[in-house]
Amino acid sequence: MTGFAHNLASGTTTLSEITRVRVAVSPDTFFGCFAYATQSGFRAFELSAGKNFWAETKSRWLFGIDYGRTDPRALREIAGRANTEVRIFDGRFVVDRAGFIPRRDYHPKIAMMENTTSNLQGLVLGSGNFSYNGLRRSVEAGSSIIATTKNDFHEHIKPVRSVFEALWGNACPLEAIVKDYETRLADLINSRDTKRSVKENGQIKSFWIEAGYVTKNRGPEKPGNQIFAPNGFRRFFGLKKSKAGSTRIGEITFETETGPRVTKNYRENDNGMEKLTLPMPEDHGFGVYDGKVLVFEPKGERFLLTALELGDFELVCGHRLANVQKMTGGRRFGELI
């Protein structure tokens, strides 16, 4: 049994502990129970677990959707991988409730692993949720347990696992509610947007865009750093349409809270959209861009870039939104006053 805390110097994180226990146990089954999931959490986990994890490991995932914090796109990504099953705690009840308010909050952060041949079992539990921040970046702490004997299992793992096995048995299959959840969550977000005042003449301090799925332009083992933006998004950066015969629109110099100042190309794409190349996420404290909201604040000829989880963005910036627009695929963008 080992306690741990996120430590930038040593590289210890919730995700590194899950990896350490997984290597020690060599599990063929994995059971993850988390209060909520984001696209950034899914991408961080997949990059850490490696491309063979899904094929070699039968995994079950029990998530919550309380208060609409879980991104349905993350649920679909996980459910779409091989050998996976996703269920939602009290899903049918919560999805039908206004604001997705639960009757009993579902708030665990736990990963359980078992090698059914050797009977080795492992458990990692802590404060970090299934988001990039929870798995790798935030200040979090927890414990890791590897049970090598029956006594270890009965004393340290069974009391926890038996509870979640019972919850699993009563949980709602994802496919039974995912369409309703997507629709009602989108309606909730749209209602917030339409209720916000649109100030055409207000002083615009910055602008933003939902990153959504980020292409793996750097290969399957590294987080991507390119997103597609709607045609005309270049105007926010003060750029004009590219010259005839060229896809290059211009350059953008980024500043971040962590890492060096960098300059990247901005281009037209052959799908009628524009391609924004961002700083390397792992070099600037972002880890991954998937599922996050990117905020750009003009600083003279440069732009300060921050990347927030959707829930954090709504909490911190929701009262400042103006001119919110939506792309064909559903991603939003707009301005902050």
What is the structure's pLDDT at 31?
98
- Cα 94 to chain centroid distance, Å, stands at 21
What is the structure's pLDDT at 315?
84
Cα–Cα distance measured from residue 264 to residue 273, given in angstroms and rounded to the nearest whole number: 17
C-alpha torsion 79→131→205→276, nearest 10: -50
**Class of domain 2-191 as given by CATH:** alpha beta
* DSSP code string of 81-132: STTEEEEETTHHHHHTSGGG--SS----EEEEEE-TTT--EEEEEES--BSH
What DSSP state is assigned to residue 75? H
User: CA neighbours within 13 Å on the CB side: how many for 114?
Assistant: 16
Largest Cα separation within the chain, whole Å, is 73
What is the structure's pLDDT at 246?
75
Rg over CA atoms, the chain: 21
What is the structure's pLDDT at 192?
72
pTM for the predicted model, two decimal places: 0.86
Cα–Cα distance measured from residue 318 to residue 315, given in angstroms and rounded to the nearest whole number: 6
Give the tens place of pLDDT for each residue, 100-154. Answer: 999 999 999 999 999 999 999 999 999 999 999 999 999 999 999 999 889 999 9
Cα–Cα distance measured from residue 212 to residue 73, given in angstroms and rounded to the nearest whole number: 9
* Contact partners, residue 213, CB within 8 Å, separation at least 6: 39, 73, 290, 291
What is the structure's pLDDT at 260?
87
Beta bridge partners of residue 299, listed in sequence order: 302
Cα–Cα distance measured from residue 257 to residue 280, given in angstroms and rounded to the nearest whole number: 13
* Structural domain boundaries in the chain: 2-191, 197-336
**pLDDT averaged per 10 residues, the chain (length 337):** 93 96 96 96 94 94 96 96 97 95 96 94 96 94 94 93 97 97 90 62 81 89 93 92 80 92 92 91 92 94 94 87 88 92
- 251, 300 Cβ separation under 8 angstroms: no
What is the structure's pLDDT at 198?
53
H-helix segments, the chain: 14-25, 39-49, 53-56, 72-79, 91-95, 132, 150-152, 158-170, 174-195, 310-317
Cα–Cα distance measured from residue 179 to residue 69, given in angstroms and rounded to the nearest whole number: 16
User: Which pair of structure tokens corresponds to residue 57?
Assistant: 């490991």
Which one of 2.40.330.30, 3.10.129.10, 3.30.1180.20, 2.40.37.10 gives the CATH number of domain 197-336?
Answer: 2.40.330.30
Cα–Cα distance measured from residue 26 to residue 83, given in angstroms and rounded to the nearest whole number: 16
